[in-house]
Structures are given as structure tokens and as C-alpha cells.
Amino acid sequence: MEKEYIGEFEELVLLLIVMLEEEAYGLAIRNALKEQADRTVTIGAVHGTVNRLEKKGFIQSRLGGATELRGGRRKRLFTITAYGKKVLQKSHDVKVNLWNQIPELALNQI
């Protein structure tokens, strides 16, 4: 299988989708980004990213959960795919692996 890279912001969004579980939709992701990572982005940026993630096959979506607050419109709710999980896991492993190889001393010297 061809290798899919995942960007830093994409990874963040992907992690948040996993975290938010049933409530992972555009605005919720944006708010979570603010709370968890202290990053303020536009709603458009979030939508753009999830759109890209879905195209890459990392997540899948369905419509649902209309509320009056939204003017009766449904949300697009995202869940991670198996492939997405794999990519996320791999990215995590690479980093952990790298962290493990760095002697604590070397890091402290910086």
C-alpha cells in the first residue's frame, strides 16, 4: 500500500476526532482545538482539513444530530477508519521510538 503521510495539524484533528467520539463535527473540533491545544483556527480551516482527511480515507462521516441551535441543520459526524487508526498508530510509534532513542542527557543539554 502506498504510503500516506499525515501532517501535524491533520494528526491533531484526527486525534481530536477519536477523543470526541460521537460528537466529532466541525465546530466541536474547532472548540476542542482551542481547549486542548490552545490553537484558534477558522471554521473553514477545520472543514478543509476534515474534508482532506476523509478524501485520504482516514475518517468516514455521516449526517445527523440536527438541533435548533443549528437552525435545524444536521451535523456531519466523523469517526476514524481502520486505516486512519493504523496511520495514527504508526505516527505515534515512530515518535515514541525516536523519543526512546534520545538519551535524556542530550535533551537536557539543549
Partner 1 sequence: MKHQHRIPPKSAERFLNWFCKDELLEEILGDLHEYYDELSGQPRWKISLLYWFHVLNFIRPFAIRNFTSTNTNHYTMYRNYLKISWRNLSKEKMYASIKIGGTALSIAACLLIALFIQDELSFDKHVPNGNRIYRLIWVFNNNGDIEKDVFFQAPFANAILEEFPEIEQVGRYNAGELFGAGSKEIRRAGEKQNILEKGFVYSDQSLIDLLQIPMVYGERSQALAEPNSIVLSESKAQKYFPNENPIGKTLILDNDVETPFTIGGVIKDFPTTSHLQYDFLMTMTNREFWPGEQTFWRASNYPTYLKLHQDADPVALSEKMKKITNKYLLPAQIEAGAIDAEENAKNTSYELQAINDIHLYSQDIFDELKHGDIRIVWLFGIIAGFILLIACINFINLSTAKSANRAKEVGLRKVVGSYRISLVQQFMTESVLYSSIAFVLGVFLAVLLLPYFNIIVDKTLVFPWTAWWFASVTILGSIAIGLVSGIYPSIYLSAFQPIEVLKGRLTRGSKSSYLRSTLVVFQFATSIVLIIGTIIIFKQMNFILNTKIGFEKDQVILLKGTNTLGDKIATFKDALLQLSEVKSVSVSDYLPISDTKRNGNAFWREGKAQEDKPIYGQIWRVDHAYIETMGMRIVAGRDFQSDIASDSQAVIINQKMVEEFGFENPLDKRVTNSGAVWNVIGVVENFHFESLKEDIRPLCMVIGNSPSIVAVKINTNNMREFIGTINGIWDDFLPNQPMRYTFLDEDYASMYADVTRTGNIFSSFAILAIVVACMGLLALSAFMIEQRNKEISIHKVLGASIRNILVLLTKDFLSLVLLAFVFAIPIAWYVMDQWLQDFSYKIAMEWWVFALAGCVAFLIANLTIGYQAIRAALMNPVHSLRSE
For the beta carbon of residue 50, count every other beta carbon within 10 angstroms: 23
73 touches partner 1 by CB under 8 A = yes
Q: Which of residues 32-61 bind partner 1 (CB under 8 A)?
A: 42-45, 47-48, 51-52
81 touches partner 1 by CB under 8 A = no
Q: Name the H helices within the chain.
A: 8-20, 26-37, 43-56, 82-101, 104-109
CB of 37 vs partner 1, minimal distance in Å = 18
Which of 25, 59, 80, 87 touches partner 1 (CB under 8 A)? 25
Site size for partner 1 (CB under 8 A): 21
Which of 26, 33, 53, 80 touches partner 1 (CB under 8 A)? 26
Q: Closest by alpha carbon to 42, among 53, 66, 26, 54?
A: 26
Give the whole-angstrom CA distance, residue 97 versus residue 90.
10
Paired with 57 in beta bridges are none
Structure-block grid coordinates of residue 10: 491533520
Closer CB to partner 1, residue 71 or residue 103?
71
Binding site for partner 1 (CB under 8 A): 25-27, 42-45, 47-48, 51-52, 63, 66-67, 69-71, 73-76
